[in-house]
């Protein structure tokens, strides 16, 4: 009944045992709690876990691949996830909300300052930042990750966006120029690893009604996608762009526009129309019948879920084992997950205390 969900797929050169991916999710948990959660999700049967927010810079609040402790931390995540017969992917990102302060610390980049910050970044600096993606991918691979995802939000999303990028050099203006930095980041990885699968989290701005501010316009996707593909991307993970409300990119069921199951899949349709590469959908995916239908009709090749696998890590094993009715369905209340992230108490779920 769920044949497509259960079918393996060649995802940019590696084999995924089924079509379900744990979407990048920063958890704000201690190392031991995080490992427990990741092991539960891996053992529950999903094909790959994407670890969110792995910094390519050495100046970040998250553990750093460049430091021995940080490297050991990521190597441990990879080992623990692999023990559950699940693949692991590192989401490589570059922040546009903090920058080095020149004194060994970090300074915040305020929302009102972002456009000016992007405008003033020296082109040399951008080239150095792009090269860091190659360096970080090398370390991620050494730490045991099977693939990397380039986060097309944050710094990349701001440079792609005509809203934030008012540059007048080769990195600003037309679509080709706004895609230049993203393509350089991908190329920096590809030039070091001819065979490494590179997923790209493509983030989309929608107009009428307006949602998302970074990233690319729906109309710009047909120009962006081939540029990224030529640079070396092997799959696309498609969603709404950030620098809008958190409740828009992680929409609650009561959201006025993105409240429905599969709320961002219409963005996948546009990506699908301009590439043969695998496309992964994300956003409000919870229902096995709906997901099977979208996969079987080739609207997406994989389904990524964040909140649903937090609510029930056993989603895949229940679906594959004929126990779909036993799934603890995520109600997209954004209670203890998003709220937990916001108030820094760690990501949890209202179902946590109930038996699985």
Ligand X SMILES: Cc1cc2nc3c(=O)[nH]c(=O)nc-3n(C[C@H](O)[C@H](O)[C@H](O)COP(=O)(O)O)c2cc1C
Beta partners for residue 151, in sequence order: 201
Single residue of 6, 17, 26, 274 touching ligand X by CB under 6 A: 26
Alpha-helical (H) ranges within 232-326 are 246-249, 265-272, 288-296, 307-311, 315-320
- Cβ at position 155, least distance to ligand X in Å: 13
306 binds ligand X (CB under 6 A): yes
Single residue of 23, 47, 49, 114 touching ligand X by CB under 6 A: 23
* C-beta closer to ligand X: residue 134 or 212: 212
Single residue of 184, 235, 239, 294 touching ligand X by CB under 6 A: 239
- Cβ at position 154, least distance to ligand X in Å: 9
Return d(Cα 148, Cα 136) in angstroms, integer: 10
- Cβ at position 168, least distance to ligand X in Å: 30
Q: Binding pattern to ligand X, positions 309-338, x when CB under 6 A? A: ----------------------------xx
Q: Binding pattern to ligand X, positions 67-86, x when CB under 6 A? A: --------------------
25 binds ligand X (CB under 6 A): yes
Pairing, β 198-205 against β 147-151: parallel
Alpha-carbon distance values, 111 to 12, 116, 212, 338 (Å): 35, 10, 14, 21
Single residue of 21, 56, 250, 327 touching ligand X by CB under 6 A: 250
* C-beta closer to ligand X: residue 191 or 339: 339
Return d(Cα 153, Cα 225) in angstroms, integer: 15
Close Cβ partners of 339 (under 8 Å, ≥ 6 residues apart): none
Q: Binding pattern to ligand X, positions 42-61, x when CB under 6 A? A: ----------xx--------
Question: How is 170-226 classified by DSSP, letter by letter?
Answer: TTSSSHHHHTHHHHHHHHHHHHH-TT--EEEEEEEEBTTTTB-SSSEEGGGHHHHHH
Return d(Cα 279, Cα 222) in angstroms, integer: 14
305 binds ligand X (CB under 6 A): yes
- Cβ at position 242, least distance to ligand X in Å: 8
The yes-or-no answer on residue 154 being catalytic is: yes
List 154, 180, 272, 328, catalytic entry: 154
Q: Binding pattern to ligand X, positions 270-299, x when CB under 6 A? A: ------------xxxx--------------
CA angle, residues 228, 109, 52, in degrees to nearest 5: 50
Q: Binding pattern to ligand X, positions 93-132, x when CB under 6 A? A: ----------------------------------------
Return d(Cα 233, Cα 86) in angstroms, integer: 22
Return d(Cα 355, Cα 353) in angstroms, integer: 7
Cβ atoms of 202 and 216 within 8 Å: the answer is yes
198 binds ligand X (CB under 6 A): no
Helix/strand/coil for 351: coil
Q: Catalytic positions, please? A: 154
Site residues (CB under 6 A) for ligand X? Answer: 23-26, 52-53, 91, 151, 201, 239, 250, 282-285, 305-308, 337-338, 341, 347
């Amino acid at each position: 009944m769920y044949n497509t969900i259960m079918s393996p797929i060649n995802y940019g050169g590696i084999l995924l045992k089924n079509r379900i991916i744990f979407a990048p999710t920063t958890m704000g948990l201690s190392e031991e709690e995080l490992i427990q959660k990741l092991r539960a999700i891996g053992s529950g049967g999903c094909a790959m876990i994407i670890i969110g927010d792995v910094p390519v810079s050495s100046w970040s609040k998250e553990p750093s691949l460049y430091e021995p402790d940080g490297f050991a931390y990521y190597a441990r995540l990879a080992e623990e996830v692999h023990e559950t017969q699940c693949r692991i992917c590192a989401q490589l990102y570059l922040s546009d909300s903090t920058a080095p302060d020149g004194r060994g610390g970090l300074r915040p980049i305020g929302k009102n300052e972002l456009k000016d910050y992007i405008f003033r970044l020296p082109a040399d600096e951008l080239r150095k930042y792009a090269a860091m993606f190659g360096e970080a991918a090398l370390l991620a691979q050494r730490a045991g990750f099977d693939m990397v995802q380039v986060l097309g939000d944050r710094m990349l999303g701001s440079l792609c966006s005509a809203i934030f990028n008012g540059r007048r050099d080769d990195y600003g203006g037309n679509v080709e120029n706004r895609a230049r930095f993203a393509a350089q980041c991908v190329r920096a990885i590809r030039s070091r690893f001819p065979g490494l699968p590179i997923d790209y989290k493509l983030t989309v701005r929608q107009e009428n009604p307006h949602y998302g501010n970074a990233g690319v316009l729906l109309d710009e996707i047909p120009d962006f996608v081939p540029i990224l593909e030529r640079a070396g991307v092997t799959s696309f993970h498609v969603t709404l762009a950030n620098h809008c409300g958190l409740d828009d990119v992680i929409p609650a069921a009561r959201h006025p526009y993105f409240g429905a199951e599969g709320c961002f899949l219409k963005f996948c349709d546009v990506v699908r129309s301009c590439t043969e590469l695998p496309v992964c959908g994300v956003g409000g995916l919870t229902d096995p019948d709906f997901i099977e239908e979208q996969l079987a009709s080739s609207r997406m090749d994989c389904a990524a879920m964040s909140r649903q696998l937090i609510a029930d890590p056993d989603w895949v094993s229940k679906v594959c084992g004929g126990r779909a009715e036993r799934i603890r369905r995520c109600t997209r209340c954004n209670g203890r997950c998003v709220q937990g992230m916001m108030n820094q108490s760690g990501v949890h779920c209202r179902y946590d205390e109930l038996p699985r």
